[in-house]
Structure 1
Amino acid sequence: MSARIGVITFPGTLDDGDAARAVRYADAEAVPLWHADEDLKGVDAVVVPGGFSYGDYLRAGVIARFAPVMSSVIEAAHKGMPVLGICNGFQILCEAGLLPGAMIRNAGLHFICRDQWLRVENTETAWTTRYDKGAEILIPMKNIDGCFVAEQNTLDELEGEGRVVFRYVGGNPNGSRNDIAGIRSENGRVVGLMPHPEHAIDALTGPSDDGLGMFYSAVDALVSA
């Protein structure tokens, strides 16, 4: 029986289709979840995809954090369910308190759309075991509120505890502190990143297939659980 990974759609979500496709590429079942759902339909993991949930009104991710589905995701995450937040999903996970820090407007105040090199800093999360530590991967990114910030003591904790998962290579595109592109929770089950691994699962449609390892990693974690 294949792993069942839920993919949430909020009003304004753009990348749920590609996230579901990435899940299927990793030989798992993609289960659609709607923002108003309270039942997670028995999924084994959840992807909170990118886009502009609720139009990014007030602040990116802040309204989505209060959607009924997120109450269930927060509860499941505290029990150890793997959760991946991509771009707007990362913003939502920070607003929900599942990950520390926040995303603010990019340095230069411009929307960024480019292929971005990342260095894999942590391979012990539920979403990164398929990578070699220090590997450099090419992943698309597209955001305007992608600058990761946190208080210095939080940054020190993230660095000291090895909770930085991805770091920008070849220049910091948006001003994120410590070149941070992605982080994890204390238990390594929740990961958030600004670039889009779901857009890099096939060399025919993306700049690489480097993002597919994240979805295979999650399947591995679920199978071995």
Structure 2
Amino acid sequence: MKILLIEDEDDLRDVMKISLEKELFLIETASDFHTAAEKLETYDYDCILLDIMLPGGSGLTLLELLKEKGKHNSVIIISAKNSIDDKVRGLNLGADDYLTKPFHLAELTARVKSVIRRKQHDGQKIINIGNVKINLNERTVNVQSSALILNRKEFDILVYFASNKNRLINKTALAEHIWGDHADQSDDFEFIYSQIKNLRKKLKETDASIEIQAVYGIGYKLVVE
């Protein structure tokens, strides 16, 4: 799961990033309005953590930009301002939740997991697809009654495909979603091929009724046999 953390306070941003990475989220950051706007224009995220007061502009303006572009990212506003007006305006602009500083990191994690489940999986903690059961909270996968052992990236790839069943996913979109900013550092998609190959092998070996099919020259799609 990929999160964009938009926060101008360096210490707080670093603490939030480290805490969420321990939960195995992929975290990208922006410390000002213009950097955040550029990232939101270019990439999609499972959740956006959005400070209102930013150098160069308001976080509420970023919400307006998301609304204008028809993007439906999960958004949690994070601000030291406990203003009812800001809260109401942010929620009316499409924010999913509002967290006032200071807050406990455990609460932040719980809110993030909650809005992602609510937006992407109808609030469910379990994805059932074919004979495969994916537990999003525990990050476990079972094929029928047998555990399927996946590494972090393989799990994230499987969840991404399960959330986009029967949809063609191009290699660039997959790379950006799973590897974030680091995807731009590679000249080819060898790092994707390797993870996909291993994941497909593991699914086949456990007699999973789902398959990640390659579409030559474009990408992949997950289908239920």
With normalisation by structure 2, the TM-score equals: 0.39
With normalisation by structure 1, the TM-score equals: 0.39
Q: Which has the larger radius of gyration?
A: 2
